Structure 1
Amino acid sequence: MTACFPRHVRVRARAEFDRAFQQGRRTASPLFSLHFVAGPPPARLGLAVSRKVDPHAVGRNRIKRVLRDLFRQLRAQLADGDYVVVARKAAAQSENAALRAGLLHLLQRAGALPQGDAGGTIPPAAPAAPPSHSASDDRPDGSSLPA
């Protein structure tokens, strides 16, 4: 079952877009530019995908569909306000998974979502314990030297 995306959670009017562009905090990546303006609930999404990004409507609609779907899933976790996402030319050549990851990363950088796990291959370092060294550890037969 897909969650709905009703009109009241969309940035639709030109004045609302202009307010986000003029008063919003901007965060950018190679795929998108995000403008955020804190406001009354709920979190709302506005999308700007121009013909310069992709001259074909199918490509522009794919980008918007992927972004709307991710926003729909994250909406409950986001701070209240208007989020306006402006797609850049690189978004047209990106796969859907890259679009999702790009918007997620941008929302985290903007402080709208908590940072994800570092996800590296090296586990975090454990606190070092003080060495317990005795003289018997040095001798192969286990005997100790007289003190």
Structure 2
Amino acid sequence: MNNKQRIKDNKEFQQIFKKGTSYANRQFVVYVLPTEKPYFRIGLSVSKKVGNAVTRNRIKRYIRQTFLELKDDVQPANYIIIARNPAATFDFHQTKKSLEHVLQIAKVYRMNGKMKKR
């Protein structure tokens, strides 16, 4: 994932928190803010309460890889993903399934060729 697809600036995080819409399941909270750009951007937040540095980095790696695999099926928008405690025990496939679920709730994920628009 290249630098233009990442959200790192605190100002951008705050803007997405204020203007975006949040969707959640037990493992993740996703804030979505539509954008005019033809690609998606993601910002990640994993609290120290979730686990040690190794665990937090593994979760972030799984989230980035999931978005890379779903890049053609996810609407272009700004996303902030916040990991909750249960995500610490998940492997990659469980993480991907959980993220797909929350993206379907947000109606920004296309499954089986159909895009669910917001």
What TM-score comes out, normalization by structure 2 length? Answer: 0.88
Structure 2 regions of 5+ residues with no counterpart? 113-118
Percent of paired sites with the same residue? 32
CA apart distance, 1:84: 0.5
The match for 2:116 is none
1:75 aligned onto 2:82: no
Counterpart pick for 1:43 among 9, 25, 40? 40
Other-structure match for 1:102: 98
Q: Which residue of 2 aligns with 1:52?
A: 49
Give 1:34's match in structure 2, choosing from 7, 30, 37: 30
Please state how far the C-alpha of 1:67 moved relative to its aligned partner: 0.5
* Long gaps (5+) in structure 1: 117-147
Q: CA deviation at 1:52?
A: 0.9
Pair 1:88 & 2:88 matched: no
| 1:38 Cα deviation from its structure 2 partner | 0.5
Select which of 8, 11, 25 maps to 1:12.
8
**TM-score under structure 1 length normalisation:** 0.71
More strand by share: 2
Runs of 4+ residues deviating >6 angstroms: none
- RMSD over aligned Cα, in angstroms? 1.2
The higher relative CO (CA closer than 8 Å, separation ≥ 6) is in 2
Q: CA deviation at 1:96?
A: 2.1
Q: Name the amino acid aligned to 1:90.
A: P
Count matched residues. Answer: 111
TM-superposed deviation, 1:108:
1.2
